[in-house]
Amino acid sequence: MRKILLGTTAAVGAALLAPMAAEAQEAPTVRVGGYFRAYYGYTQQNATSPTNVTMNQNPGDNGAVSSTGNIPGSARLGHGDFSTDAEVHVFVNGKTANGLTYGAVIEIEFDSSEGTVRSDARRAFSKKTGANIDEMYAFIASPTLGQIRFGDEDGPFGGLMNVGWVSNFGTGGAYGDFESFIVRPNRTGTTPGSVGDNTKIIYLSPQFFGLDFGFSYAANEAEGEDTGCLNSYASLNCDRAYAVTNIQSNGRSHDQPGRYNELQWAVRWRGSVAGVGLAVGANGMFSQVVRDISPSGDIRRNLRNPEVYQVGAQATYMGFTVGGGYMWGNTSFYYIPSVRGDKRMSMFFGGASYNAGPLTIGANFYSGQYAGTDAWNTSNYNADGTRAPDTVNSPRGQRRWAYSVGATYRLAPGLDLIAEYIRQEMKEPSANATPRAFSAAAPGVDRVKASVFLTGVRLAF
Amino acid sequence: MKPFLLAACAALPLLAACGENTRGVQNDEYGDWRGSAPRQRSGGQTAGLVIFGVDKEREAREAAAAGGASGLAVNAYLWRATLDTLSFMPLASADPFGGTIITDWYAPPGAQNERFRAQAYVMGRQLRSDGIRVQVFRQVNDRGQWIDSPVSQATNSEFEDKVLARARELRSQSAQR
């Protein structure tokens, strides 16, 4: 497979670099853009008020956790909060004498840490606003042969070419920024881009007869430079890890090595029929998964090789946009690899919006079934990695859904006023009489719910 | 599976390269994290401020706004501003493609023994302060004979400033529409 991909990349590269009609060369330009947003959010959420459970204690003035360590305690959260975020994007664009365009994109984000300690004096702790690189890649493109991107970037399946996700209102509704206000686990949706910006080579075709396609290859799930290893030897976090002890007990997730030899593909058609703008698309992802290795060195695969597909369609007419689709595969929510025998992912999504001048209103939803936290519950697996019968309070899989209504008013080019309401729920019904507990904060609660009303301003520049 | 992938990988780029119905897909036709590009990068690939290099898109935009559509080869604001500024003199020739405006001799009513002529060059499509050059010629009547007489450089600059001020005025008027 690697040989094929390398060969294909070389062939496409050679074709791109072949001499073409002479065009005016353009010296590269460097642009700085980005966005800033500030919201007020009113949040209602259950199962987040622990009473007399073991929890981390406040660090002392020297930044260290107090000597008493983790002791029983309680905490309560209010409803109102502000949330700010920004990104700065740097774009480099140039054009060669033979008509090829080239450039690079570097996006800097400032939300690298979800948790925080507020005082600057406690230097051992990161602040929430730490800078971080979101995406960075270089591209070279020909109008007739397509484009190659190389770097940390979404793939054709994971964001670039998805169809049917209507998110052009508010902050994106059920796929939007409401997560900034919600405490885990009732937080993440399984949406394009959640697959991650792992370093990859992407080929994106030109459009012919309304059709274009793309595919990508990533060596593993890591991004950025360096090996990722936290030790001086191979371990869980290493980019190139393909076998790690007790792998089924780790929630394999975004930006951590879990997949390797990842392939993504996408095909979409865009055009108009009788004045109605239409788009249909299909895409998918396949990869190998990090395997389990025993302390004595025996390697076996107990997670499934992730395999996910998505189809979607979208129509636009007179300011109305309607779209939707279906996603299925063998991963859990957030594209986390699941264990053999686990429930497979099955998820619907859809939305509609209406745009009239500066005003856009819309609504969207998703509803899915996933393996849930099953994926890293080690208590119910046989020695060979297959599922044992449900004898403990093992969940039967997870249901997760969200819906949203919202509006955007464009006050000036790039300057939007936003209001939005989102409701998200998830549940993991137990296989026996003992209710599944999502967290220590709420024993016996197998259904978590959150509602967020948010309003604010966003400036894209 | 492998032969199929191999065939597909080899054939699709070649297929894409032929045919009249092929066009390059622009960078802002691709989505990103949860389709956030339309919200967070509403200017598309020309968003942001150019901090290095020449902003071709902006130049093209301004040239189109300033007269690309009207068939002028030079900046329309500067062209009209020059015509306005020199309108008190009789026009000898005006070439909108070359960007030259040449007036005929003009004797001010209060000083009939001297006369002026002006040549203006509008340079390029951009509305820039160095996009206009004005050269004023002066002759004085010495016993029935018109004799060339020097004009101070400040006169030329003053004309250029008047043209630029008028161009700015025209541009702000059209921007308000």
Tell me if B18 is assigned to some domain. no
Which range marks the domain in which residue A44 is found? Answer: 2-56+75-116+126-460
Q: Which amino acid is at A362?
A: G
| Partner-chain residue, chosen from B13, B30, B38, that has the shortest CB–CB distance to A15 | B13
Q: Cβ–Cβ of A142/B5 closer than 8 Å?
A: no
- In chain B, pLDDT over 90 holds for what percent of residues? 17
Query: Counting Cβ atoms within 10 Å, is residue B125 exposed (0-12), middle (13-18) or buried (19+)?
Result: buried
> In chain A, which residues have their Cβ closer than 8 Å to the Cβ of B52?
28-30
Backbone angles phi, psi at A140, to 5 degrees: -140, 130
Say what the pLDDT of residue A403 is.
96
Give buried/exposed letters for B42-81 (b at 16+ CB in 10 A, else e). beebbbbebeeeebbbeeeebbebbbbeeebbbbbbbbbb
For chain B, say whether A159 makes contact (Cβ under 8 Å): yes
Mean of pLDDT values over A163-189: 89
Say what the pLDDT of residue A251 is.
46
- The Cα–Cα gap between B11 and B90 comes to 68
Q: Is the pLDDT of residue B2 over 80?
A: no
Tell me if B32 is assigned to some domain. no
> In chain B, which residues have their Cβ closer than 8 Å to the Cβ of A27?
53-54
Q: Is the pLDDT of residue A451 over 80?
A: yes
Region of poorest pLDDT, from A281-285, A325-329, A336-340: A336-340
Q: Is the pLDDT of residue A22 over 50?
A: no
Q: Cβ–Cβ of A206/B25 closer than 8 Å?
A: yes
Say what the pLDDT of residue B63 is.
65
For chain B, say whether A283 makes contact (Cβ under 8 Å): no
Mean of pLDDT values over A142-156: 93
**Closest residue by Cα to residue B162 from B99, B83, B89:** B83
Tell me if B168 is assigned to some domain. yes
pLDDT band at B141 (very low <50, low <70, confident <90, very high): confident
Q: Cβ–Cβ of A154/B42 closer than 8 Å?
A: no
Q: Return the residue matching tokens 């796929």.
A: A175
- The Cα–Cα gap between B34 and B32 comes to 6
Q: What is the largest CA-CA distance in chain A?
A: 74
Who wins on pLDDT, B49 or A369? A369
Identify from B25, B28, B58, B61 which residue to disrupt to test chain A contact, counting A C-beta atoms within 10 A and taking the largest count.
B25
Contacts of A23 (CB under 8 A, 6+ apart): A95, A97, A98, A99
**Taking all residues of chain B, what is their mean pLDDT, rounded to a whole number?**
78
Q: Is the pLDDT of residue B84 over 60?
A: yes
For chain B, say whether A32 makes contact (Cβ under 8 Å): yes
My answer on whether omega of the bond before A185 falls inside 30° of 0, hence cis, is yes
ipTM greater than 0.85: no
Mean of pLDDT values over A222-232: 87
Residue pair A5/A261 in contact by the 8 Å Cβ criterion? no
Mean of pLDDT values over A294-305: 86
Chain A's closest residue to B28, CA to CA, is: A160
Tell me if A69 is assigned to some domain. no
**Taking all residues of chain A, what is their mean pLDDT, rounded to a whole number?**
82
Who wins on pLDDT, A5 or B115? B115
Say what the pLDDT of residue A270 is.
93
Q: Is the pLDDT of residue A11 over 60?
A: no
Mean of pLDDT values over A408-437: 83
Q: Is the pLDDT of residue A46 over 90?
A: no
Tell me if B20 is assigned to some domain. no
Which range marks the domain in which residue B109 is found? Answer: 63-176
Q: Cβ–Cβ of A192/B35 closer than 8 Å?
A: yes
For chain B, say whether A165 makes contact (Cβ under 8 Å): yes
CATH code of residue A308: 2.40.160.10
Query: Tokens at residue A403, please?
Result: 């819906």
Q: Is the pLDDT of residue A37 over 90?
A: yes
Residue A268: count other Cβ atoms within 10 Å of its Cβ: 24
Say what the pLDDT of residue B76 is.
85
Say what the pLDDT of residue A249 is.
44
Tell me if B36 is assigned to some domain. no
Q: Is the pLDDT of residue A170 over 60?
A: yes
- The Cα–Cα gap between B74 and A11 comes to 45
Quick one: how far is CA B62 from the chain centroid? 7
Tell me if B19 is assigned to some domain. no
Tell me if A63 is assigned to some domain. no
Tell me if A68 is assigned to some domain. no
For chain B, say whether A206 makes contact (Cβ under 8 Å): yes
Q: Which amino acid is at A334?
A: Y
CATH code of residue B135: 3.30.530
Q: Is the pLDDT of residue A58 over 70?
A: no
Provide the β-strand partners of residue A255.
Answer: none
Q: How many domains does chain B have?
A: 1
Tell me if B5 is assigned to some domain. no
Backbone angles phi, psi at B164, to 5 degrees: -65, -40
Say what the pLDDT of residue A25 is.
75
Mean of pLDDT values over B111-139: 89
Q: How many domains does chain A have?
A: 1
Say what the pLDDT of residue A401 is.
94
Q: Cβ–Cβ of B56/A161 closer than 8 Å?
A: no
> In chain B, which residues have their Cβ closer than 8 Å to the Cβ of A206?
16-17, 22-25
> In chain A, which residues have their Cβ closer than 8 Å to the Cβ of B49?
31-33, 461
Residue pair A352/A389 in contact by the 8 Å Cβ criterion? no
For residue B45, give the 3-state DSSP assignment: helix
Q: Where on the phi/psi map is residue B88: left (φ > 0), alpha (ψ -120 to 50), or beta?
A: alpha
